[in-house]
A = this chain, B = another copy of it.
Amino acid sequence: MNTQSIIKDSSLAESGHLKISWAYRHMPVLRRLEEEFSSKKPLAGERIAICLHLEAKTACLAKLLQDLGAFVAITGSNPLSTQDDVCAALVELGVTVFAKYNPSYEEYTNFLNKTLETSPTLIVDDGGDLVSILHKDKQEFLTNIKGGCEETTTGILRLKALEKESLLKFPMLAVNDAFSKYLFDNRYGTGQSVFDGINNTINLVIAGKTIVVSGYGWCGKGVAMRAKGLGAKVIVTEVNPIKAVEAYMDGFLVMPMLEASKYGDIFITVTGNKNILTKEHFQNMKDGAILANAGHFNVEIDLKALEAMAVEKSVIRKNIVDYKFANGKRLYVLAEGRLVNLAAGDGHPAEIMDMSFSLQTLCLLYLKENFKKLATKVLNVPSEIDEKVSSYFLEAVGVKIDSLSLEQLDYLHSWKL
């Protein structure tokens, strides 16, 4: 078992601690779970392997799980989202970390492997990499595993594919599909953080611009909503007719990408699929168009095709690569086509991750208690956990709500008048 952390530079810890401390002040649900559980050490004896975007909010989760008694090993779920100062602080806090910003492909893979080699009993995955490697290359570690949680739409898709082939070896809770997750994290989290990342990188006006949002799932809805809120005209591209009608009724232009590619000033892919922006689209695009991705993997923009078409490629500002065409046209790709909110920003707001990571925490406690009874499938988060997180959030922000009277409950359950 290898538990020797690998990070960039342990001297960066102080900055990391400041970030973690600021984030934790804004994660009241996690703090409340700490209060409820930390003295009981309910995760004592567990070994948790985490693969998440390794920045301050994630660090708060790792620390809490450790406070609840677990051994925690963590790696980053995207090469550009890892923050080296946060890693250094986490190591000082006793967490085992395998991650650094912008690693080579070999390093990145090695980090995932090392994390699994800590012999976890529980998994927190983001995008499905840990689970995929476990089932493909690290099957020797499968036996210890009681279950896990998946944080993303992309990861759920991969898990369902695994389940469909009857290969999944332990229960996985679909944290992404909990209401208290996707309604807020995918929509308001992605919606805001994508523009925090983009605006911070380009310093251009959004008002008046035409923004093409590809994909009108919950993340895409959030991105489109915020684009509109910032004064943009929004074009949505979709493959699903129902979502397309929804985008249309929400006041957005809807058209195929081949058409949209002519009009966009900024393109944001958020589909979870590959090759959304390809050669034929690059050809259509206006000079100066800006391309960003907010989907989990950097496969939505076909960078290979773009590189082949360009006569010159240069980094012209932090996180902006300029691809120049023979005819002088330039296309700008942000953050190498990786999750722009994390690679060019600090990711989702703290209060949003507070809800998502509180779900994670409660799901891990649930898995520990119930894993023997659970099917080795992709499972929904129990609704009690889901409502608990929302209830705690409401209390934290000081919002009270009504409750049903007995008379009203009766009314809801009666079919006669």
Contact = CB atoms under 8 A, between A and B. Distances in A.
A244 B184 CA distance: 12
Given A248-B208, A350-B203, A273 B408 contact: yes
Contact of A228 (B183, B229, B253, B273): B229
B132 A417 contact: yes
Contact of A251 (B228, B240, B297, B349): B228
B242 A386 contact: yes
Contacts of A22: 202-203, 316-317, 320
Interface of A: 18-19, 21-23, 25-26, 56, 128-129, 132, 135-136, 157-159, 161-162, 164-165, 167, 179-180, 183-184, 187-189, 191-192, 196, 199-200, 202-208, 226, 228-233, 237-242, 244-246, 248-257, 259, 272-275, 288, 297, 299, 316-317, 320, 345-352, 355, 386-387, 390-391, 393-394, 397, 399-405, 407-408, 411-417
23 contacts: A21-B316, A22-B202, A22-B316, A25-B288, A132-B417, A165-B415, A167-B415, A179-B242, A205-B350, A205-B352, A207-B249, A229-B231, A230-B230, A239-B401, A241-B394, A241-B401, A242-B390, A244-B390, A244-B394, A248-B397, A254-B394, A257-B402, A274-B408
A350 to B, nearest CB: 6
Nearest to A251: B231
Contact of A207 (B157, B250, B320): B250
A324 B402 CA distance: 28
Protomer copies: 4
Nearest to A234: B251
Contacts of A413: 161, 164
Contacts of A404: 239, 273
Given A196-B200, A251-B232, A404-B239, A161 B206 contact: no
A117 B122 CA distance: 62
Contact of A414 (B23, B129, B158): B158
Contacts of A317: 18-19, 22
A350 B244 contact: no
A242 B180 contact: yes
Contacts of A164: 413
Contact of A200 (B26, B244, B345): B345
Nearest to A183: B246
A192 B230 contact: yes
A404 B275 CA distance: 10
B411 A273 contact: yes
B203 A188 contact: no
A241 B18 contact: no
A255 B188 contact: no
Contacts of A411: 273-274, 299
B228 A205 contact: no
Contacts of A192: 199, 205-207, 230-231
A165 B251 CA distance: 43
B244 A401 contact: yes
B188 A26 contact: no
Contacts of A320: 22
B255 A399 contact: yes
B415 A161 contact: yes
Contacts of A405: 275
Contacts of A316: 18, 21-22
> Which of A157, A204, A205, A250: most chain B Cβ within 10 A?
A205
B200 A128 contact: no
